[in-house]
Amino acid sequence: RHLLQARKKTVSFSSMPSDRKMNSTAACMAFMMEGCEMKKVRSNSRMYNRYFLLDPDMRWLRWEPSKKDSEKAKLEIKSIKEVRLGKKTPVLRSNGLSDQFPDECAFSIIYGDNYESLDLVASTADVVSTWVMGLRYLVSYGRHMVGVVEPSQPSVRTSWIGSVFELADPERQGHIDLFRATQIIKGLNPGMRESRIELKFKELQKAKDCYGEGIDLDTFVEAYCELCTRPEIFFLLVQFSSNKEYLDSKDLMLFVEVEQGVEGVTEEMCREIVHKYEPSAEGRNNGYLSIDGFTHYLLSSECHIFDPQHKHVCQDMTQPLSHYYINSSHNASLLEDHYWGSSDLSSYVRALRMGCRSLEVVVWDGADCEPVVYVGSSVASQLAFCKVLDVINQYAFESSEYPLILCLVTHCSVPQQRVMAQHLKKILGDKLHVDPPNMEDHYLPSPEKLKGKILIKGKSLPSDSQDSEGEVTDEEEGFEMFRRMMGGDDKDQLNGIGCKRLRLCKELSVFSGSVFLRKHWEICSFNEVDANRFANEFPEDFVSYNKRFLSRVYPTPMRIDASNMNPQDFWKCGCQIVAMNYQTPGLMMDLNLGWFRQNGNCGYVLRPAIMREEVSYFSANARDSLPGVSAQLLHIKVISGQNLPKPRGSAAKGDVVEPYIYVEIHGIPADCAEQRTKTVSQNGDNPIFDESFEFQINLPELAALRFVVLDDDYIGDEFIGQYTIPFECLLPGYRHVPLQSLTGEFLPNTTLFVHVAITNRRGGGKAHKRGLSVRKGRKAREYTSTKTTGIKVVDELFRASTQPLREATDLRENVQNAMVSFKELCGLTPAANMKQCILTVSSWLMNSERAQRVTVDLSGAYPTMEAHGPVPELLRKVLTAYDTMIQTSRTLIESADGVYSKLTQAQRAGLDFHEDLHRIGAREGLKGRKLQKAMESYAWNITVLKVCTYTLCYALRHVYTRALFSTSRGITEHGNL
């Protein structure tokens, strides 16, 4: 008791000192021996401040009690079964505490034969990480503690650093100069600032009273370890290492497979990782990955957040052109805004190299009967139309082989239009698509079929016109579509305003007319104001229209500063071509460029199935989950940042950065959300955030995740960097996020370190990403129901499908709930996988002081776990939960075929009404809005049946690949039971 009081008077850590980095187990032990104050949580949800510390002999954890005898306020290290990070016990999950402190500030110590829990809350995530890292180390190596705090033999790491020093000191003087030492560490860690390295050397020299002398070996090793050890990565290494200072190939296999979600991992693959990233020859020869090699591996492209499969064309390119989003540029010739901006050919080159597949070319009469290109008031910087075509011809297919659409906006007289037609034919030649459309087709050709072709979008004369020229409206086609939706009759009038007319020659008309006429191959251009009106007033109709026809949305002329509209506002309506001002950086261009990365940056992205299928229901303004679809949950933990620079243009002196991060979701209205981290004071080198966020994603195929890093220390433009990634391209596990500048360049050596987990992934990605949804609460089960159409025969059919819909939901959710219960009892989050659960149970049995026996039977169709003899209550509950999970999985497997058959039969029967539904409804007296509502309800019901069938199949797949197979494989490979 006296020792505790004495320590508390002299040392108190309410938070981790900013200059104190836990870069070794020795540092952890030293901190734990000094002790700190934390909150002890009781089962009644009350919290008490206590002072905790580790005994010098590292055998006992003690705390200062209020009334208890000090001998009772202690816990023997060898009795600890597990140390859990976060709110992962029933006490910490209780409703009374869940909102009082963040998840990253809590941890629990599971101890004793009855698996009791000591639940603690620290002031910061740094303190938690230190205690968890130290205690886990003691649990693993507590019986072999010789040389932990002061190693008697040099480690793999220190031996390697020593060899680096010796290479820099060929004459064996025993020291090197400050500049040389700084450059070596800078070379080993390119993102590190030289001033920071020099300051560390000077601090260490001053502490040793040898300031100003050369850097000796000990100082060099100490400086390197302090500067180049990232505590959050060291924490990971300790978690997975079967040795206290490195990962062997089996440790690495476990990390890559269990945490990173990679399938088919072999020891040979892990040996290749070691050989590629481990800097020490000793480590490479012995197959060891030290903290430096592990850091290099996690920073490599193999552990970036972006799925490398999406760096190549990976989507079906044989669908009709109208089924894709198409990367589009507006006013591609401009370098700046519409008022002051000048035109330049390099702008076309830049747009094409960035994956643009739709270019706008605004053409006017020029001198000497040569058409020219310019926008707005940039008359002074006119570009010859033929020169623009030369550039387009040269670079059209440099970055993508898929079709390029030229949107010609013609303001020329008829003679210069004929010159335009001549240039198009002469310069573009065989690349120009001139084949007449097939009148019997209902959809446009596919990108695959149109490879290497340039399509012309422009005004066209009627196909049956025999005259050499004629008049067309000079208004965009969106006016005509709005007139149709509003039920107007006069083709040349809209709201009483007469449309302007344009004389068009047949030579120019034939190019655009051969591709886009007034049938399924028509294309409509909309001003963003009109497109927004359609999206708000006719959301379902707009989506339905875009299933077959191409829509192009361009910015309103009021955007004289060339600012950009939000492309998501129109992608959600199914609009394929949303024209962007490429010269204007910012959020909107980040979304556009990030979005089109997902298919090899080829300029085409396949739209969600719900926007392509002929019979499906989707409303662009949906603010809730989609019919029959369980939302997916995205779990993001922002761990740290690396080498964050000052904001560009910052006038503040010094290199001080106070970063914070916004995590944003962009997509349909129901998915849009953002959350921010705390600000980390005066640290841009390796700020630790350690904050977790969760987002609900209803339509993952249209969602994008954006990280934005800002500086709290700077007033004005505080932007540091950002990265935008489509949801479908996310990789799970511990990942680094490369950051881009405002203008899109990647910032060298500047990253974020995050952990990603996705639950209830139902498709659109690869198999290993798919899972089942997590319970948001224990409320009554909700069933998706069908809607009444008002057509008797149709309603009877859909009413008959109510029971199989409920059965499918029950089968799916019973399995999902059983899995989550099993994971929670294992002390893991719902985002955990089965292997992690098996490993947890294995570790409990291995760390038990008394003999406990659990056998696994893999001989039958379904694996079973059975205890022999007495086992603690918690382990008994875990085994019961496992059995429940297997039984619900079995029920799903054995019942799925029958339910699937009923659902598909109802779906087929419903689709039989599709062709005649309008006529049947009219025959039953439905008309106008009632008939339209009946059509919408019908589409809703078909969508519910399709989605329910789809999710049932993926639930079945998940049970086979994730629950049964993964459990069996985990037990077999890590056979500790």
The single-letter code of the amino acid at 820 is: V
- Comparing 884 with 762, the larger pLDDT belongs to 884
Residue 760 CA to residue 634 CA, distance in Å, equals 9
Q: Please say whether the dihedral angle defined by the alpha carbons of residues 691, 692, 698 and 700, taken in this order, is positive or negative.
A: positive
pLDDT, one tens digit per residue, over 337-366 is 544 446 678 889 999 999 999 999 999 999
pLDDT tier for residue 502 given thresholds of 50, 70 and 90: confident
Q: Looking at per-residue confidence, does 705 or 853 come out higher?
A: 705
User: Is the per-residue pLDDT at 123 higher than 60?
Assistant: yes
The alpha carbons of the chain give a radius of gyration, in whole angstroms, of 33
Q: Which residue has the tokens 């290993």?
A: 768
Coil, strand or helix: which one is 307? Answer: coil
Q: What is the pLDDT of residue 976?
A: 43
State pLDDT tens for residues 536-569. Answer: 888 888 888 888 888 999 998 888 888 899 999 9
**For residue 22, how many other CB atoms are within 10 A of its CB?**
23
For range 676-694, the mean pLDDT = 89
Amino acid symbol at 592: N
What dihedral do alpha carbons 320, 324, 327, 329 form, nearest 10°? 70
Q: Into which CATH architecture does domain 25-141 fall?
A: Roll (2.30)
Write down the pLDDT at residue 762. Answer: 41
pLDDT in tens, 732-787: 999 999 999 998 999 999 999 999 998 874 433 333 333 333 333 334 677 888 89
Q: How confident is the model at residue 3 (pLDDT cuts 50, 70, 90)?
A: very low
Structure tokens at 812: 């799916």
Q: How confident is the model at residue 1 (pLDDT cuts 50, 70, 90)?
A: very low
Three-state DSSP state, 311:
helix
Dihedral of alpha carbons 270, 273, 279, 281, sign: positive
Furthest C-alpha separation in the chain: 107
d(CA 744, CA 589): 9
Residue-level pLDDT at 490: 44
Amino acid 964: pLDDT: 54
3-state DSSP of 663-723: EEEECCCCCCEEEECCCCCCCCCCCEEEEEEEEEECCHHHCEEEEEEEECCCCCCCEEEEE
pLDDT tens, residue by residue, 643-652: 999 887 655 5
Q: What is the pLDDT of residue 519?
A: 57
pTM: 0.85
- Once rounded to an integer, what is the mean pLDDT over residues 689-703? 91
Max mean pLDDT among 452-466, 722-736, 827-841 falls in 722-736
Q: What is the 3-state secondary structure (H, E, C) of 791-827?
A: CHHHHHHHHHCHHHHHHHHHHHHHHHHHHHHHHHHCC
pLDDT in tens, 285-303: 999 999 999 999 999 999 9
Q: What is the pLDDT of residue 494?
A: 40
Q: How confident is the model at residue 501 (pLDDT cuts 50, 70, 90)?
A: confident
Structure tokens at 130: 């230190």
127 burial type by CB count under 10 A (0-12 exposed, 13-18 middle, 19+ buried): buried
- Is residue 376 predicted with pLDDT exceeding 70? no
Q: Quick one: pLDDT at residue 16?
A: 45
Distances, alpha carbon 532 to alpha carbons 328, 450, 482, 577, 692, in Å: 18, 31, 12, 14, 35
pLDDT recorded at residue 443: 81
Neighbours of 361 (CB within 10 A): 24
Cα distance between residue 206 and residue 720, in whole Å = 34
- Length of the chain (residues): 977
pLDDT one-digit tens code per residue, 236-270: 888 888 766 789 988 899 899 888 988 888 989 99
Going by the DSSP 8-state scheme, the letter that residue 564 receives in this structure is: -
Beta bridge mates, 505: 469
Answer CATH for 321-459+467-485+503-611 from 3.30.530.20, 2.40.10.480, 3.20.20.190, 1.20.1250.20? 3.20.20.190
pLDDT of residue 592: 96
Q: Which tokens go with 203? A: 């601090």
Q: Where are the domains of the chain?
A: 25-141, 156-299, 321-459+467-485+503-611, 632-648+656-759, 792-973
Residue pLDDT, tens place only, 802-839: 999 999 989 988 988 898 889 888 888 777 778 788 88
CA distances from 800 to 607, 788, 796, 935, 951 (A): 32, 12, 6, 19, 20
Average pLDDT, the chain: 83
Does the pLDDT of residue 659 top 90, yes or no?
yes
Separation of alpha carbons 495 and 346, rounded Å:
41
Contact 373/333 with Cβ under 8 angstroms? Answer: yes
pLDDT of residue 150: 43
Separation between Cα atoms, residue 864 and residue 400, nearest integer Å: 53
Say what the pLDDT of residue 136 is: 83
Q: What is the CATH number of domain 792-973?
A: 1.20.1050
CATH topology of domain 632-648+656-759: Immunoglobulin-like (2.60.40)
- Top CATH class, 156-299: mainly alpha
Residue 412: both structure tokens together: 């020329």
Contacts of residue 72, defined as CB under 8 A and 6 or more positions apart, other chains included, come to 65
pLDDT(958) > 80: no
Q: Which residues pair with 103 in a beta bridge?
A: none
Q: Is residue 935 scored above 70 in pLDDT?
A: yes
Residue % of the chain over a pLDDT of 90: 42
